[in-house]
Structure 1
Amino acid sequence: MTQIVHSLSEISEQYDALFCDLWGCVHDGIKALPEAVAALQAFRAKGGMVVLLTNAPRPRADVAEQIAKFGVPDDAWDTIATSGDAARVALFTGALGQKVYHIGEPRDQGFFEPLNLVENPVAIEQVPLSQAEGIVCTGPFDPKANPDVLRPQLLEAKTRGLTMLNANPDMVVDRGDSREWCGGAVAQLYEQMGGAVLAFGKPHPPVYDMARRRLAEAGAASIPDERILAIGDGILTDVKGALLEKLDVLFVTGGLAAAETNVDGEPQPERLDAFLGREGFDPNYTIGMLR
């Protein structure tokens, strides 16, 4: 049964590194969450390493620039691993061919920038759907519109037998008080229609391999999995992924699951147990908000 804690410091001595989610844990899509930032700074001050592990469909440099604008300081983290980078490895090694159709917002164009992790990368060309050999999905064209509006394009793609590379498995995120759709919702619809999807990001293994590689690059290659704590607010992404990787996990209920689990900003034991029972996962630890 999960253990409810009130601060990261209650359990942090057991760990040398954190794989910490961003959206819903460290920021709300608009601004940094001060208590979370302070908790990460305190962990690093005692010698811990922090990998920001995010399902953002963008390169880590773009994410670093974004969170700086939100007010997340550099001394709160050591490195960043994104689902976008994990998916880009597959793209530039030829998983879809050369000609791809992009479903996503213009701000995600950084996904198609060259990647130094791949030797002799495939030359990728963005083309109309009628000419595509595969689909890259970084999210809906309009995150506020139901993904069902994409059925015409997805039906054409499915009829042509195109594979979708999904760079963001998140279904939804909360930007401040507004909920938005993500790439996972588009990919789920495509699979329901009979389309094939290559998934990257939490809960899938490639992004955890990326996180371990980033940790090694940051000078901590010797940290064993039992000394790594995953933190996140997504039960089907952060929690599921960590448990599949056999990592301990701290579930932040004040993000996506706040309405189902929290009372006055804190996880209410009966509601939490009912939620975890429905979802079928049992995180090692649970906290209202990262602090």
Structure 2
Amino acid sequence: MTEIITSFADISQRYAAAFVDLWGCMHNGVSAYPDAVEAMRAFRSGGGKVVLLTNAPRSRAEVARQIEGLGIPEECYDIIATSGDAARTAMFQGAVGSRVFFMGEERDKTFFEPLQIVKDPTPIELVPLDEAEGIVCCGPFDPHAAPEELRPELLLAKTRGLTLLCANPDLIVDRGDSREYCAGAVAELYEKMGGEALYFGKPHPPIYDLARRRLASLGDLPADGRIVAIGDGIATDIAGAAGEDIDSLFITGGLAAEETRTQPGGQPEGGALGAFLQTAMMTPTYAMGFLR
């Protein structure tokens, strides 16, 4: 049974560390949520460790610069683990070959910058699709266009037997009032067409392995029972927590605001939340409208 809480402080003393989603929990793609920033600052002041766990297809350094610009200061978190870092490691270890076709926005090409932690990295060359050994997908070329528009490229890729490396398993995000498609939506379509996709972000194990390693670098690694995952993605944050056997706090005012009838600044309606969770076949430990 999911417990609806009013403040993270109601439960924070039970945990030594929190794996916290960014988009939808700490910010809306345009600016930070001040209450969420204060909640994490207070958790840290009480001795808790905050790992920002994001499906962003970029390095932690890039994410740190981005969120600083959104109003999320360094003092409200300890370390960052990104889907981009986990996926880049796999790419430089040769997961999709050396000659790759890139899908994403121009700004996402920083994905191919050298990664020092990989010894003897696979040399990566960006090539046209008909010359590629694999695909690296950081998202659609146009995040506002439906992934179906990429069907011709994906059909050619499937025909050639190419594996698609998905750098961000999220399906959608809301940037302010605008909804955008992510790499996960492209990978989902590719798999439905019969193609093969590799995933490295939530809810898949590689990013949790990375998060634990980065948490351990701060000191002793807490037991799983002392870690809570916080996020608004039922199929990513909450499913990932369930797969890792750690507690979870579902933020209903993000992606599922309409389904859970969570008004701005408010709490989910109990009946709507129950129906949504039953359909999703998920039982987060806790739920609240917005992180505070």
* TM-score, shorter chain, exceeding 0.5: yes
Query: Structure 2: how far apart are the matches of 1:107 and 1:289?
Result: 30
Q: Which residue of 1 aligns with 2:233?
A: 234
Query: Structure 2: how far apart are the matches of 1:62 and 1:263?
Result: 31
Measured on the aligned residues, the alpha-carbon RMSD in Å equals 0.8
Instruction: Report the CA distance between 1:119 and its aligned residue.
Output: 1.1
Query: Structure 1: how far apart are the matches of 2:277 and 2:19?
Result: 21
The amino acid of 1:31's aligned partner reads: S
Q: Which residue of 1 aligns with 2:11?
A: 11
Q: Which residue of 1 aligns with 2:276?
A: 275
- What is the percent sequence identity of the aligned residues? 61
Query: Structure 2: how far apart are the matches of 1:239 and 1:149?
Result: 30
Query: Structure 1: how far apart are the matches of 2:286 and 2:59?
Result: 30
Aligned runs of 1:203-242 on 2, under 5 Å?
A: 203-217=203-217, 219-242=218-241
Q: 2:151 aligns to what SS in structure 1?
A: helix
Query: Structure 1: how far apart are the matches of 2:219 and 2:108?
Result: 30
Query: Structure 2: how far apart are the matches of 1:269 and 1:168?
Result: 31
Instruction: Give the total of aligned pairs.
Output: 290
The amino acid of 1:44's aligned partner reads: R
The amino acid of 1:182's aligned partner reads: C
The amino acid of 1:4's aligned partner reads: I
Aligned runs of 1:109-258 on 2, under 5 Å?
A: 109-217=109-217, 219-258=218-257
Query: Structure 2: how far apart are the matches of 1:180 and 1:220?
Result: 37
CA contact (8 A) 2:19 2:51 kept: yes
Instruction: Report the CA distance between 1:221 and its aligned residue.
Output: 3.4
Q: Which residue of 2 aligns with 1:28?
A: 28
| Unpaired stretches in structure 1, ≥5 consecutive residues | none
CA contact (8 A) 1:262 1:288 kept: no
The superposition leaves residues 32-57 of structure 1 with CA deviations (integer Å, 9 ceiling, x where unpaired) of 00000000000001111100000000
The amino acid of 1:213's aligned partner reads: R
Instruction: Report the CA distance between 1:216 and its aligned residue.
Output: 1.6
Instruction: Report the CA distance between 1:270 and its aligned residue.
Output: 0.4
Instruction: Report the CA distance between 1:116 and its aligned residue.
Output: 2.1
Q: 2:102 aligns to what SS in structure 1?
A: strand
With structure 1 as the length reference, what TM-score do the two structures score?
0.98
CA contact (8 A) 1:92 1:121 kept: yes
The amino acid of 1:267's aligned partner reads: P
Larger deviation, residues 256-265 vs 239-248: 256-265
Q: 1:174 aligns to what SS in structure 2?
A: strand
| Unpaired stretches in structure 2, ≥5 consecutive residues | none
CA contact (8 A) 2:16 2:227 kept: yes
Query: Structure 2: how far apart are the matches of 1:79 and 1:110?
Result: 20
Q: Which residue of 1 aligns with 2:64?
A: 64
Larger deviation, residues 280-289 vs 111-120: 111-120
The amino acid of 1:133's aligned partner reads: E
Query: Structure 1: how far apart are the matches of 2:216 and 2:229?
Result: 16
CA contact (8 A) 2:40 2:76 kept: yes
Query: Structure 2: how far apart are the matches of 1:61 and 1:216?
Result: 19
Q: 1:266 aligns to what SS in structure 2?
A: coil
Q: Which residue of 1 aligns with 2:107?
A: 107
The amino acid of 2:2's aligned partner reads: T
Q: Which runs of 4+ in 1 moved over 6 A?
A: none
CA contact (8 A) 2:252 2:262 kept: no
Q: 2:180 aligns to what SS in structure 1?
A: strand
With structure 2 as the length reference, what TM-score do the two structures score?
0.98
The superposition leaves residues 81-124 of structure 1 with CA deviations (integer Å, 9 ceiling, x where unpaired) of 00011111110001111010000011111211111221111111
